Amino acid sequence: DTAVSQTPKYLVTQMGNDKSIKCEQNLGHDTMYWYKQDSKKFLKIMFSYNNKELIINETVPNRFSPKSPDKAHLNLHINSLELGDSAVYFCASSSARVRGNNEQFFGPGTRLTVL
Protein backbone atom coordinates (compact mmCIF):
# COMPACT_ATOMS: atom_id res chain seq x y z
CA ASP A 1 0.00 0.00 0.00
CA THR A 2 2.20 2.78 -1.25
CA ALA A 3 0.96 6.12 0.08
CA VAL A 4 2.79 8.41 -2.35
CA SER A 5 4.20 6.83 -5.47
CA GLN A 6 6.31 8.27 -8.24
CA THR A 7 7.21 6.96 -11.67
CA PRO A 8 9.75 6.45 -12.93
CA LYS A 9 12.25 5.92 -10.12
CA TYR A 10 15.16 6.61 -12.43
CA LEU A 11 15.19 8.71 -15.58
CA VAL A 12 18.23 9.14 -17.81
CA THR A 13 17.87 11.36 -20.85
CA GLN A 14 19.69 13.65 -23.24
CA MET A 15 19.83 17.41 -23.09
CA GLY A 16 17.02 19.05 -24.98
CA ASN A 17 14.53 16.25 -24.48
CA ASP A 18 11.10 16.61 -22.85
CA LYS A 19 10.19 14.28 -20.00
CA SER A 20 7.46 13.78 -17.42
CA ILE A 21 7.42 12.45 -13.89
CA LYS A 22 4.18 11.16 -12.45
CA CYS A 23 3.01 11.27 -8.86
CA GLU A 24 0.01 9.66 -7.25
CA GLN A 25 -1.18 9.61 -3.65
CA ASN A 26 -3.83 7.31 -2.19
CA LEU A 27 -4.10 9.11 1.15
CA GLY A 28 -7.09 11.22 0.24
CA HIS A 29 -5.01 14.39 0.67
CA ASP A 30 -5.97 17.62 -1.01
CA THR A 31 -2.55 19.23 -1.33
CA MET A 32 0.41 17.97 -3.33
CA TYR A 33 3.94 19.29 -3.77
CA TRP A 34 7.05 18.93 -5.89
CA TYR A 35 10.47 19.38 -4.31
CA LYS A 36 13.89 19.31 -5.94
CA GLN A 37 16.90 17.84 -4.13
CA ASP A 38 20.20 18.88 -5.63
CA SER A 39 23.54 17.08 -5.57
CA LYS A 40 24.30 18.57 -2.15
CA LYS A 41 21.04 17.09 -0.87
CA PHE A 42 19.45 20.51 -0.44
CA LEU A 43 15.65 20.28 -0.71
CA LYS A 44 13.64 23.11 -2.15
CA ILE A 45 9.94 23.50 -2.88
CA MET A 46 9.03 23.96 -6.53
CA PHE A 47 5.25 23.81 -6.74
CA SER A 48 2.19 23.12 -4.64
CA TYR A 49 -1.35 22.33 -5.70
CA ASN A 50 -4.47 22.32 -3.56
CA ASN A 51 -7.57 20.71 -5.02
CA LYS A 52 -6.02 20.97 -8.48
CA GLU A 53 -5.29 24.67 -8.02
CA LEU A 54 -1.74 26.02 -8.12
CA ILE A 55 -0.94 27.73 -4.80
CA ILE A 56 2.86 27.79 -4.73
CA ASN A 57 5.07 28.48 -7.70
CA GLU A 58 8.61 29.19 -6.61
CA THR A 59 11.22 30.67 -8.88
CA VAL A 60 11.34 27.78 -11.28
CA PRO A 61 12.10 28.03 -15.03
CA ASN A 62 8.94 27.92 -17.10
CA ARG A 63 10.32 24.80 -18.76
CA PHE A 64 8.85 23.09 -15.69
CA SER A 65 5.09 22.72 -15.85
CA PRO A 66 3.09 20.89 -13.20
CA LYS A 67 -0.25 19.37 -14.09
CA SER A 68 -2.88 18.12 -11.68
CA PRO A 69 -5.64 16.17 -13.43
CA ASP A 70 -7.28 15.39 -10.09
CA LYS A 71 -6.57 15.68 -6.36
CA ALA A 72 -4.70 12.39 -6.28
CA HIS A 73 -2.25 13.17 -9.06
CA LEU A 74 0.39 15.82 -9.65
CA ASN A 75 2.63 15.33 -12.64
CA LEU A 76 5.73 17.29 -13.53
CA HIS A 77 6.59 17.94 -17.15
CA ILE A 78 9.99 19.31 -18.07
CA ASN A 79 10.74 20.75 -21.50
CA SER A 80 14.15 21.20 -23.11
CA LEU A 81 16.04 19.46 -20.35
CA GLU A 82 19.36 20.98 -19.25
CA LEU A 83 22.33 19.51 -17.40
CA GLY A 84 21.40 21.55 -14.33
CA ASP A 85 18.05 19.80 -14.11
CA SER A 86 19.81 16.66 -12.93
CA ALA A 87 18.54 16.08 -9.40
CA VAL A 88 16.20 13.97 -7.34
CA TYR A 89 12.60 15.14 -7.54
CA PHE A 90 10.27 14.37 -4.65
CA CYS A 91 6.52 14.48 -4.66
CA ALA A 92 4.69 14.99 -1.36
CA SER A 93 1.14 15.37 -0.12
CA SER A 94 -0.65 16.69 2.93
CA SER A 95 -4.12 17.44 4.18
CA ALA A 96 -5.99 19.61 6.67
CA ARG A 97 -7.71 22.94 6.71
CA VAL A 98 -4.56 24.75 7.81
CA ARG A 99 -2.01 23.39 5.41
CA GLY A 100 1.06 24.84 7.03
CA ASN A 101 1.05 22.68 10.12
CA ASN A 102 0.64 19.36 8.43
CA GLU A 103 2.90 16.46 8.05
CA GLN A 104 3.90 16.06 4.45
CA PHE A 105 4.16 12.52 3.16
CA PHE A 106 6.92 12.05 0.63
CA GLY A 107 7.28 9.74 -2.32
CA PRO A 108 10.45 7.69 -2.93
CA GLY A 109 11.86 10.23 -5.37
CA THR A 110 12.77 10.23 -9.05
CA ARG A 111 16.45 10.53 -9.88
CA LEU A 112 16.75 12.49 -13.10
CA THR A 113 20.07 12.43 -14.94
CA VAL A 114 20.54 14.67 -17.95
CA LEU A 115 23.47 13.77 -20.19
Partner 1 sequence: AQSVTQPDIHITVSEGASLELRCNYSYGATPYLFWYVQSPGQGLQLLLKYFSGDTLVQGIKGFEAEFKRSQSSFNLRKPSVHWSDAAEYFCAVGSGSSNTGKLIFGQGTTLQVKP
Peptide bond into 8 cis (omega under 30): yes
Least Å distance between CB 83 and partner 1? 22
Task: Choose between 4 and 81: whose C-beta lies nearer to partner 1.
Answer: 4
When the beta carbons of 15 and 27 are compared against partner 1, the nearer one is 27
78 with 84: CB under 8 angstroms?
A: no
DSSP H or E run through 44: strand 43-50
Nearer to partner 1 by Cβ, of 67 and 109: the residue is 109
Distance CA 14, CA 59 (A): 24
Report the DSSP pairing between strands 43-50 and 31-37. Answer: antiparallel
- Rounded to the nearest whole angstrom, what is the least distance from the CB of residue 34 to partner 1 in the complex? 12
| Nearest-approach distance from CB 18 to partner 1, in angstroms | 25
Residue 47 CB, shortest distance to partner 1, in Å, is 10
**In terms of CB distance, is 47 or 75 closer to partner 1?**
47
CB contact burial 27-55 (16+ within 10 A = b; e otherwise): eebbbbbbbbeeeeeeeebbbbbbeeeee
Binding site for partner 1 (CB under 8 A): 4, 31, 33, 40-45, 48, 50, 55-56, 90, 92, 94, 98-109
